């Protein structure tokens, strides 16, 4: 057959097959698709729920498994519509869940959950799972106070065998469950789902190496969507895409180009994706097989005709471990998500038809933005400043730096341990690395902070975002412990910004400081609305400031509780208690002169911080005790986050519950004085 005849036949076969478009959302009948040419004006926010007749019959996965196989696709389509509808009301992580709709449905259809364990890595993708596992009636409480968690949570459901909000834990946890199963002579299956982005963390490889060496019966689903939160980086992504440089791929790609040139955009996209799927056939899963896994794939994660038989075969196999490579598309089936760069990874409440998010107008810039812009200014003055992020460029503000200084920006992927030691290496050569990592994510690199940075006295800068309580993400992302876990390290300098103007100065301070590691913490969300300086000025190391002078009560704040301390001082003043308010600025080294003065000149000294016990308040108490200042007339109290993990809610509600708002501070003062406080009217206080 000639080459032209071959392509003609291929063309005919493609036309006969009629490649189906991706499943779309079941919109209310009164509304048109967002790309309808007849839509002339914006549609107001839609709250009508989609029609889901088949999904309505499913409360738990056992109900799903009673359906004939040909109805599973309809369930998946309705599940996608319900997920979109629910998240439009609550906000949250959307794109990841849409990418695993078919996979979620197939897993619960094939496996006997909850006896069979499904472990979702990270948990961003767990909303469809929650809908299918008895929580649909509460899905519109997602991330709301008293409602469902935005992540898997053991206390929430027996279908959540392992809690997850940080990445790369699923294989390790799954291996532990598999070993426990074997020790107990049970026969259930353990399935760990992990994304290609999460595979960049060393922990995932450690777990696979251990599982392979043990020949443990474990199923790992590699959800390859070419994207974690941001576009992928690192060798794993390159490995999964190695086909792009191989001879077989190049030949196939050329054929595909010739074939699709005349077929139109829809078929062109489909063929292109099919070519991408073929990458695994070239690599043959070599890496995974060398680690002891039987490799299956890649398969189309949105095609149930492929997914179901493969998962059944894997389920029935009596050997292991097995890795199933599933190719998915983040944001699949919802046009506004498919068309955005981040695939609507995390969204506010939004209009279902247009995808337009409903965001409150900010009264002040976010701390994250202030940090990013300040770092850009400092970098303009010093070409030794470099920025490092671990797969969170936009979340940390490093994306702003990258736009101006791409060659001085390093996204190392989900690899916090590497990020810290990489920064340490840069510091040894005279560079000034700003290693920007969330407070809770930095916990994952604690050994590296201790051994590779602090012990060697290297001047690595740690901008710590998400300090304190974070609201809807709850306990898993709350920056409660960084002052405590960093403050015990010799040579560590720790700052906390009280407002966005101070953050500007702390960036400048960190840039100028070369005597060892330095960290500065700041919360998620917008600032308090103060005027920003045009240029940051380095602060005197270990020196705080008096913000308000008084005589009887002293409030010593670290971080953004300063605004609540000032409100409390107003209330206390109205009640006849003259109050001093001080901003510590530094948790370490502590401003001993300031602390000593406050203790000697006031009846009551209260320390206030957005952190756990063992942090700033403990440092102050230790300093006062060493100097005998706890033996005198001053009554000293510390206010910290309660010794529990606080569930998600609005940040202001969480701080009120923790007693770290103005009312809580006033109440603490009167408790120290041995007097009662009575609430009257709209919240005014009287002694």
332 classed as catalytic: no
Of the candidates 402, 416, 564, 609, the residue annotated as catalytic is: 416
> What six digits make up the tokens of 195?
């994304």
d(CA 100, CA 26): 17
The helix or strand, by DSSP H or E, that contains position 536, with its residue range, turns out to be: none
CA 108 to CA 105: how far, in whole Å?
Answer: 5
**How many degrees, rounded to 5, is the angle at CA 68 between CA 64 and CA 74?**
70
Residue with tokens 């935005």: 150
Strand-pair category, 493-496 with 586-588: antiparallel
Give the DSSP H or E segment for 397: none
Give the closest residue to 340 by CA, choosing from 318, 321, 356, 324: 356
Contacts of 360 (CB under 8 A, 6+ apart): none
Is the backbone of residue 260 left (phi > 0), alpha (psi -120 to 50) or beta? Answer: alpha
The residue annotated as part of the active site, out of 135, 444, 466, 561, is 444
- Using CA atoms, how far apart are residues 390 and 414, in angstroms rounded to an integer? 5
Give the containing element (helix H, strand E) for 61.
Answer: helix 61-65
Could you tell me the strand order of the sheet in which 219-224 lies? 117-120, 190-195, 219-224, 322-327, 294-300
Q: Which strands, in side-by-side order, build the sheet including 586-588?
A: 409-411, 385-389, 432-436, 461-464, 518-521, 493-496, 586-588
Active site residue 671: no
Across the chain, how many H-helices and E-strands are there? Answer: 28, 21
| Encoded tokens for 33 | 């698709």
Q: How far apart are alpha carbons 202 and 192 in whole angstroms? A: 16
**Is 66 among the catalytic positions?**
no
Task: Determine the Cα–Cα distance for residues 506 and 687; give it in Å rounded to an integer.
Answer: 39
CA distances from 564 to 174, 568, 665 (A): 44, 6, 8
Output the CA–CA distances (angstroms, integers) from residue 674 to 635, 670, 671, in the order listed. Answer: 11, 6, 5
CA distance 84 to 24: 11
What is the rounded distance in angstroms from the CA atom of residue 202 to the CA atom of residue 38? 51
**Catalytic residue (choose from 117, 136, 330, 466):** 330
Helix/strand/coil for 68: coil
The neighbouring-strand residues paired with 410 are 388
First to last CA, the chain: 98
Which residues participate in catalysis according to the annotation?
330, 416, 444
């Amino acid at each position: 057959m000639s080459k032209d005849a071959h392509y003609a036949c291929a063309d005919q076969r493609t036309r006969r097959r009629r490649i189906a478009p991706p499943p779309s959302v079941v919109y209310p009948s009164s509304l048109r698709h967002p790309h309808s040419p007849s839509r002339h004006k914006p549609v107001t926010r839609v709250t009508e729920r989609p029609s889901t007749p088949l999904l309505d019959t499913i409360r738990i996965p056992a109900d799903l498994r009673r359906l004939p196989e040909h109805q599973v696709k309809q369930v998946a389509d309705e599940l996608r519509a319900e997920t979109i509808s629910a998240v439009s009301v609550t906000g949250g992580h959307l794109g990841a869940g849409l990418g695993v709709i078919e996979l979620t449905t197939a897993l619960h259809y094939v496996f006997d959950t909850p006896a069979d364990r499904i472990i979702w890595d990270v948990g961003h993708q767990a909303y469809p799972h929650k809908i299918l596992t008895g929580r649909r009636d509460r899905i519109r409480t997602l991330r709301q106070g008293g409602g469902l968690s935005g992540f898997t949570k053991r206390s929430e459901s027996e279908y959540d065998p392992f809690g997850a909000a940080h990445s790369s834990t699923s294989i390790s946890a799954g291996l532990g469950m598999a070993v426990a199963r074997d020790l107990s002579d049970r026969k259930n299956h353990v399935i760990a789902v992990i994304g290609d982005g999460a595979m960049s963390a060393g922990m995932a490889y450690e777990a696979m190496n251990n599982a392979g060496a043990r020949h443990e019966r474990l199923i790992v689903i590699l959800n390859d969507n070419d994207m974690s939160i941001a576009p992928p980086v690192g060798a794993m992504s390159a490995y999964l895409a190695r086909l792009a440089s191989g001879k077989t791929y190049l030949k196939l790609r050329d054929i595909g180009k010739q074939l699709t040139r005349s077929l139109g955009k829809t078929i062109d996209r489909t063929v292109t994706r099919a070519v991408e799927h073929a990458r695994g056939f070239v690599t043959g899963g070599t890496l995974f097989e060398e680690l002891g896994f039987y490799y299956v794939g890649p398969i189309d994660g949105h095609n149930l005709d492929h997914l179901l038989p493969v998962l059944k075969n894997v389920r029935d196999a009596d050997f292991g471990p097995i890795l199933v490579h599933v190719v998915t598309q983040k944001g699949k089936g919802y046009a506004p998500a498919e068309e955005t760069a981040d695939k609507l990874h995390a969204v506010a409440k939004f209009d279902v038809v247009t995808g337009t998010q409903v965001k409150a107008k900010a009264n002040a810039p976010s701390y994250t933005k202030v940090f990013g812009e300040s770092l850009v200014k400092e970098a303009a003055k010093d070409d030794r400043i470099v920025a490092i992020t671990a797969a969170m460029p936009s979340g940390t503000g490093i994306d702003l730096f990258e736009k101006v200084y791409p060659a001085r920006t390093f996204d190392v992927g989900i690899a916090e341990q590497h990020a810290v030691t990489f920064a340490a290496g840069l510091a040894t050569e005279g560079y000034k690395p700003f290693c920007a990592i969330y407070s809770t994510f930095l916990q994952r690199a604690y050994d590296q902070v201790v051994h590779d940075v602090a012990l060697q006295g290297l001047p690595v800068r740690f901008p710590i975002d998400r300090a304190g309580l974070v609201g809807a993400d709850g306990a898993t992302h709350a920056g409660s412990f960084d002052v405590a876990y960093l403050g015990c390290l010799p040579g560590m300098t720790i700052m906390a910004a009280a407002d966005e103007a101070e953050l500007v100065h702390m960036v400048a301070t960190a840039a100028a400081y070369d005597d060892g590691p330095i960290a500065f913490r700041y919360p998620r969300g917008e600032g308090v609305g103060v005027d920003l300086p045009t240029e940051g000025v380095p602060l005197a190391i270990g020196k705080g400031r008096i913000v308000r002078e008084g005589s009887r009560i002293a409030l010593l704040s670290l971080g953004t509780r300063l605004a609540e301390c000032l409100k409390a001082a107003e209330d206390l003043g109205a009640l006849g208690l003259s109050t001093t308010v001080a901003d510590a600025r530094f948790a370490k080294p502590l401003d001993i002169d300031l602390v000593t003065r406050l203790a000697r000149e006031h009846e009551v000294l209260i320390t206030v911080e957005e952190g756990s016990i063992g942090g700033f308040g403990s440092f102050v108490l230790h300093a006062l005790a060493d100097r005998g200042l706890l033996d005198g007339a001053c009554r000293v109290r510390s206010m910290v986050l309660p010794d529990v993990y606080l569930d998600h809610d609005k940040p202001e509600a969480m701080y009120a519950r923790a007693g770290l708002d103005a009312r809580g501070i006033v109440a603490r003062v009167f408790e120290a004085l041995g007097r009662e406080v009575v609430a009257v009217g709209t919240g005014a206080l009287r002694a």
